[in-house]
Structure 1
Amino acid sequence: PVAALTEDLQRLQAEYANYKKRVDRDRLLAGEIATAGALMELLPILDDLDRAGEHGELTGGFKAVADQIHNATKKLGLEKFGETPSAFDPNIHEALMHETSNEVKETTVTKILQFGYKYKERILRPARVVVTDPEHGS
């Protein structure tokens, strides 16, 4: 009888430990999903800040606020991506325009129209790009 009770107690302790791990994992995942949702809502604002910066419209106090927003989203884990030239990857790039050139050997990202963003290795938005394909027959 004591051995059976000890076995039952050990089984219950193991079940409880597994339950606790599952709850902790679910809580962490729920937090990440909520953060990703909030960051998604900020992407259009970040795009506007990038455009304003490109046109020299971010100066003085506005630049300081833009820098704070960029730093806060980075601290939360948001990563901006998109480089030229780079090999086209349909997992992280969305090709909006295609060109051809004999200067490339493979399909290459030649212009970033809109940066992509990822959070915790999850793509929130692919980089929207212009790609250049190699010319055939030359």
Structure 2
Amino acid sequence: MNTRENGSAEEPVIRDNRKIDPETGEVREAVKEQAGQPAPAADLASVELATQLAERTADLQRLQAEYSNYRKRVERDRSAVKEQAVAGVLAELLPVLDDIGRARDHGELTGGFAKVSESLEAATGKLGLSAFGTKGEPFDPTVHEALLHSYSPDVTEPTCVEILQSGYRIGERVLRPARVAVAEPEESTSNDN
């Protein structure tokens, strides 16, 4: 153990090299004085390392954003493929559903076949298939296909007066338009002299 001339033990020397005073929170005078002096080689190396770190961080953030966008695009594509596959299968089942509807209209849907048809209609409903087209609704060329046309004094606008074949849709997507007979208001004959 080292002792001083007066016989007491030598205490360790502590140098506080912090650039900011922890008590006041201000920059210390020694740091202010060094700010005006040229930077030593060690400081230049640390600046270069900081620049490289910033570049690598920016590259990493860009890659993370690209990956996130890729994941979203793949998920969106999966959803679209699933929708198309379901729509394709349901489109193939539409003639079967038409046959079931005609059998029901003629009273031929009885017994076990009635249960099978109910199960099939329930399954297609769970997949999002819904029928549309009702007698008396206004004609809409985006969802109706006019097969017959006539004039009638009973209507005030082009109206579906008969549903020849139901239309089907999944959500907002029309799989098949409703095939209808359309009646328009009669033309007035007031132009006669």
The two structures have a TM-score, normalised by structure 2, of 0.70
**Residue 106 of structure 1: aligned partner:** 157
Q: 2:170 aligns with which of 110, 119, 125?
A: 119
Q: 1:31 aligns with which of 58, 82, 86?
A: 82
Q: Distance in 1 between matches of 2:99 and 2:119?
A: 15
Q: 2:183 aligns with which of 116, 129, 132?
A: 132
Considering only CA atoms, is the larger Rg found in Structure 1 or Structure 2? 2
Structure number with the higher strand fraction is: 1
Matches within 5 A, 1:40-119: 40-119=91-170
Q: Distance in 2 between matches of 1:103 and 1:56?
A: 31
Instruction: Give % identity.
Output: 57
Secondary structure of the structure 1 residue equivalent to 2:78? helix
Count residues with an aligned counterpart.
138
Question: Which ranges in structure 2 are unaligned for 5 or more consecutive residues?
Answer: 1-51
Q: Distance in 2 between matches of 1:49 and 1:42?
A: 11
Matches within 5 A, 1:4-23: 4-23=55-74
Return the offset for 1:103.
Answer: 1.0
Higher relative contact order (CA 8 A, sep 6+): 1
Q: Distance in 2 between matches of 1:102 and 1:41?
A: 39
Cα RMSD of the aligned pairs, angstroms, is 0.7
Question: Which ranges in structure 1 are unaligned for 5 or more consecutive residues?
Answer: none
Structure number with the higher helix fraction is: 1
Q: Distance in 1 between matches of 2:188 and 2:63?
A: 71
Return the offset for 1:120.
Answer: 2.6
Secondary structure of the structure 1 residue equivalent to 2:123? helix
